[in-house]
Structure 1
């Protein structure tokens, strides 16, 4: 292929490798989570230094989208490599997602046999027999197994005694090598401890790794890494990465509630933005693509909800909002200064032949619209003077403006 063919093939293409944006993708490096992986490694040193002697286990907790599963899977890859190098034996993996139907002990054990490609005995057998079946297979092949029980809270809701089974797994084979080791992933350590009706279970909190939500700066680094792996060069500007990070970072995106600080939500926002830009034949993702993605993913982006709020605004609030949307549309920026919006508003009022509101009232409109969640308002950056408050709209501008025009025309404004 000539360089010209290569350029032609890349024309209006943005996404190079969509797999990198998949929730199942495990990056080669865990950005801002290395210290958590080292913390987890402390609990499995015995497995490397004295394999088979002790039962190794840990629990990982944290809200959605903070990398709990990625941490466990990446850690397994590291542990598997070290185990082969230091012990000279294979460490298998069984990743069981309890949310996906593995909620009883029998379902989990059958999931383990499937992961090990053992097949399931045709006759009905008890859980104890199933566990023995797994152990015999490991003994025979002289291999070890790391079981990752993901979203384990769903199994707990189904059977509160299931945690006790795994807490005392080593006691069932105390006279044999400990070949099965466990990582449990839950949304909250308190959820796990609420079902800890066993003293041994309570000891698990000593081997607990908590995964906090990501900050804006951390999300920026993660998104930039995914951007560099997933997209063609120069198709996703840093400004887009920064804006997503700002919306979702736990220190800046508090309105998102439980989704604040979620890398999963941030990556999905980036993916949908790029897919829209590519479908429209653009060469680069812009802020309008970002707004459309946000409307898809964030319930605050539901224009039906916003439409109800818009209907309740007074005339000048609507005109100010229309002016903001117009300035954002013309400039293509994510944020614009309130002074620029005020200028647009005054010109609009002059065109319509009406008296504009005073400067102080404009600031009150911005404050009220921000409190309603219709616009986003940023405080002035240090060193900026005067009318430097920054404003943005987090909804797709075209349908948003169309809604404003509909309401204003019903109120006899000719736009």
Structure 2
């Protein structure tokens, strides 16, 4: 980025158009946003560019390009209308706004796997090719598209795959020493001095190393600190971390759940109950809808019709919380099967029952 010279007056800028990091090293490369804004402001000053950095987690916006673009536009125009435009129209509006403001933006689409699942090739194709419709104009929108799994590109058409795979940065899993360094930095920011022994940091890093996931490691340390607070302990101990590990499944993290609406939670609760009761891998859509209606009655909510329930299921599938597949043998006709592989059904049931009871 910094190696690109500032463009001569009146000439298109030479910012990189897109990069595709793949893997799990997101804790340092793309968070927190504040540090990236400061870094890009320094770079912009060096290049004499009016430059902004915007970070969007696609899963939080249910893999909807419309919602993502609306969020980006409202960064510059807070009073922009909530509805009335298609995603393609929003993309043209965004480029027009950037041109009017003489502004360049670097847009990071984090966890773009959900965008691929929800909308296939069309959205990413439009994002990466839209500026080719305006030859001679500066390239004001540069993209960083983050995928957790490179295999998700296989769901895209060849043209989109070709465009995205020009600049791929593969990010391997974090090693134990790297996780220890990250945890040490975070503990210095979040905990009082001398409350997290070095052996505890090493223990957390060892537990998180098989998946190489810094988010999981940070979650373990945070939860371990909560257990220590509850006990009134002077420092975080290994048993606090063990208790945290026993309670943490990725799908139960706040980052996954905070964007679910009430009926998505009720559908997920219904699915968990059916899977737990039947001790099965998958449940039919029909069985889940029956359990969903019972959950609605339990919480004094009006249940939604099948079409709306199916939309909620698709949203949950896009976030990775549940999976869907068509039935094969053993079922009458073709039906949709729903499953959960990210955590035990009993854990999800208990978590949702607790969450919904607090709401009540």
Distance 1:144 1:118, change over 3 A: farther
Deviations 1:5-42 (A, max 9, x none): xxxxxxxxxxxxxxxxxxxxxxxxxxxxxxxxxxxx4x
Report how far residue 183 of structure 1 moved: 1.0
In 1, Cα distance between equivalents of 2:235 and 2:59? 37
TM (normalized to structure 1)? Answer: 0.53
Corresponding residue of 1:108: 68
Are 2:242 and 1:282 equivalent residues in the alignment? Answer: no
Conserved 8 A contact 1:153-1:186 = yes
Query: SS state of the match for residue 105, structure 2?
Result: strand
Q: How does 1:12-411 map to 2 (within 5 A)?
A: 41=1, 45-46=3-4, 48=6, 52-54=12-14, 56-63=17-24, 67=28, 69-70=30-31, 74-75=35-36, 77-87=38-48, 89-121=49-81, 124-160=84-120, 161-198=122-159, 201-250=161-210, 260-297=211-248
Structure 1 residue 207, shift from structure 2 partner:
1.0
Q: Do 1:163 and 1:196's aligned partners in 2 also have CA atoms closer than 8 Å?
A: no
Confirm or deny: 8 A CA contact 1:102 1:108 kept in the other structure.
no
Using the alignment, how far apart are the partners of 2:95 and 2:105 within structure 1?
A: 10
Structure 1 gaps, min length 5:
1-40, 251-259, 300-415
Asked if the contact 1:146–1:183 (Cα under 8 Å) also holds between the matched residues in 2, the reply is yes
Match of 1:34 in 2: none
> What SS class does the counterpart of residue 206 from structure 1 fall into?
coil
TM-score where L is the length of structure 2: 0.61
Q: Say if 2:5 and 2:47, in contact at 8 Å, map to a contact too.
A: no
- Greater C-alpha Rg: 1
Tell me: CA distance 1:288–1:109, structure 2 relative to 1, closer, same or farther (3 Å): closer
What count of residue pairs does the alignment treat as equivalent?
Answer: 246
User: Is the contact made by 1:56 and 1:182 (CA closer than 8 Å) also made in structure 2?
Assistant: yes
Counterpart of 1:12 in structure 2 is: none
In the TM superposition, residue 228 of structure 1 has moved relative to its aligned partner by 1.9
- Checking the alignment, whether the CA contact within 8 Å between 2:54 and 2:107 is kept in structure 1 is yes
Shift in CA distance, 145/118, structure 1 to aligned 2, threshold 3 Å: farther
The offset of 1:264, in angstroms, is: 1.0
Contact 1:113 1:119 in 2 (8 A): no
Question: SS of 2:30's equivalent?
Answer: helix
Flag structure 2 segments of 5+ consecutive residues without an equivalent: 251-360
Distance of 1:68 and 1:187 partners within structure 2 = 13
**In the aligned structure 2, how far is the partner of 1:182 from the partner of 1:71?**
17
Distance 1:174 1:73, change over 3 A: farther
Deviation at 1:66, TM superposition (A): 5.5
- Is the Cα–Cα contact under 8 Å of residues 277 and 285 in structure 1 kept in the other structure? yes
After superposition, the Cα gap between the structure-2 partners of 1:208 and 1:48, relative to the gap in structure 1 and judged at 3 Å, is farther
Query: What secondary structure does 1:187 align onto?
Result: coil
Distance 1:104 1:229, change over 3 A: closer
